[in-house]
Amino acid sequence: MKKVGIIGASGYTGHELVKLLTKHSGVELAFLNSHSYSGKKVSDLYSDFADEKLQYTDCSVEEINKMDVDLVFLALPAGHAIEISNQLDSGVKIVDLGADFRFKDMQKYKEVYNVETDLENNDAVYGLPELFRNEIKNAKIVANPGCYATACILASLPIVKFAKYIVFDCKSGWSGAGKESRYAKNPAMLKDNLIPYKLTKHRHKYEVEQFIKTPLSFTPHVLETFRGLMSTCHVLLNDKVNPLQLYEDFYKSEPFVSVSQNIPELTHVVGTNQCNIGGFEVDENNQLVIVSVIDNLLKGASGQAVQNMNLMLGFYEKEGLK
């Protein structure tokens, strides 16, 4: 049995972690840190949680270091994870669900997220198992990818060498903005509505560009739904290709990616750690359209974090995520 804990357990992604980890056969939850809700029952904050005993904690880093934990999940705003990771014992593995370790170029990270950090050499592994499974297995720190970045990278990676330009037209449920967002405080603003934002400079665009070197554009929208994320990728091709066969071959051994000529829908993946990729229609201008869908709180956040934990701690990769 491995001992794990969460710092930032009361947010949407933190809560998804709590739900997944309490059902995981190989781990024990040592602490659920939430400064705002310390001492309160998880079930008081989230009605979908049945355990009437589990409570939020507010353990100091010094106290955590005495617990002999194997891994800590950090679900914190940008700029906080690096500081905490430096204080945790060297033997503690970390999965950071925030942005602090996602960029190898720390100067780029500081520019994109407008934060200051003294970290110059980022040795964390980017936590997309479909790209870096072996590296994740041996990592001390894993940077869990952003939700949009996950859907966009998986949707476009196999086709990059055939692409002149890629446009990502993305839509997500409002949970992706977090508990303190204007959508969480006033869901009525999304009633019968679809809201585009950050038309050209969303943070996840720069995250995607680390792995997708083809020139690209990215625009996100918020949907009138709590969870789920769709990326419609328009790929201007520079050559003829059989995209369906290409994707089936690329992802044939991946436990959480499925490929089909059918057009994916959000309802196919909500509540799962799955990424469904489909469509694969090419128009008369040799433009390929691919659709990928994920649950932004699972494969786009907490589910992928548990998938990474499974790899880091030697569990079966699908443990707790079936």
Question: pLDDT tens digits for 79-103?
Answer: 999 999 999 999 999 999 999 999 9
Inform me whether the pLDDT recorded for 185 exceeds 80: no
Q: What residues make up the domain containing 227?
A: 148-294
Residues 86 and 164 in one domain: no
Give the pLDDT band of residue 187 (cuts 50, 70, 90). Answer: confident
Q: Catalytic pick from 59, 147, 152, 233?
A: 147
Those residues whose C-beta lies under 8 Å from the C-beta of residue 90, and which sit 6 or more positions away, are none
Residues 164 and 269 in one domain: yes
Inform me whether the pLDDT recorded for 236 exceeds 90: yes
Inform me whether the pLDDT recorded for 250 exceeds 90: yes
Q: Is residue 78 part of a domain?
A: yes
What per-residue confidence (pLDDT) applies to 120?
A: 81
Task: Over range 146-165, report the average pLDDT.
Answer: 98
Q: What is the pTM of this model?
A: 0.96
How far is it, in rounded angstroms, from Cα 95 to Cα 73?
5
Beta-strand ranges (E) seen in the chain are 2-7, 27-33, 71-74, 93-96, 125-126, 141-143, 163-172, 195-196, 216-222, 229-237, 257-259, 275-282, 287-294
Helix extents (H) in 42-95: 42-45, 61-65, 81-87
123, 124, 241, 261, 295 from 8: Cα distances, Å: 23, 20, 45, 39, 20
Residues 237 and 251 in one domain: yes
Residues 105 and 172 in one domain: no
Task: Over range 8-37, report the average pLDDT.
Answer: 97
C-alpha angle with apex 109: 105 to 110, nearest 5 degrees?
Answer: 120
Closest CA to 226 of 275, 291, 280, 270: 270
Q: How many CA atoms lie within 13 A of 234 on its CB side?
A: 10
Number of folded domains in the chain? 2
Residues 120 and 159 in one domain: no
Residues 30 and 124 in one domain: yes
What per-residue confidence (pLDDT) applies to 186?
A: 86
Inform me whether the pLDDT recorded for 179 exceeds 80: no
Query: 127 is written with which tokens?
Result: 């936590």
Query: 113 is written with which tokens?
Result: 């997220």
Inform me whether the pLDDT recorded for 317 exceeds 90: yes
Residues 46 and 158 in one domain: no
- Position of tokens 């008369």? 284
Residues 213 and 169 in one domain: yes
How far is it, in rounded angstroms, from Cα 9 to Cα 36?
10
Give the pLDDT band of residue 271 (cuts 50, 70, 90). Answer: very high
Q: Is residue 87 part of a domain?
A: yes
Residues 154 and 284 in one domain: yes
Inform me whether the pLDDT recorded for 230 exceeds 90: yes
Residue 287 three-state SS = strand
Q: Is residue 318 part of a domain?
A: no
Angle in degrees, 0-180, between the axes of helices 129-137 and 302-313, rounded to the nearest 10: 40
Closest CA to 81 of 115, 111, 40, 35: 115
Q: Is residue 321 part of a domain?
A: no
Answer for the pair 247, 273: CB distance below 8 angstroms, yes or no: no
Q: Is 59 a catalytic residue?
A: no
Inform me whether the pLDDT recorded for 169 exceeds 80: yes
Task: Over range 58-80, report the average pLDDT.
Answer: 96
Residues 10 and 41 in one domain: yes
Residues 43 and 60 in one domain: yes
C-alpha angle with apex 8: 54 to 83, nearest 5 degrees?
Answer: 140
Q: Is residue 320 part of a domain?
A: no
Residues 111 and 219 in one domain: no
Inform me whether the pLDDT recorded for 56 exceeds 90: yes
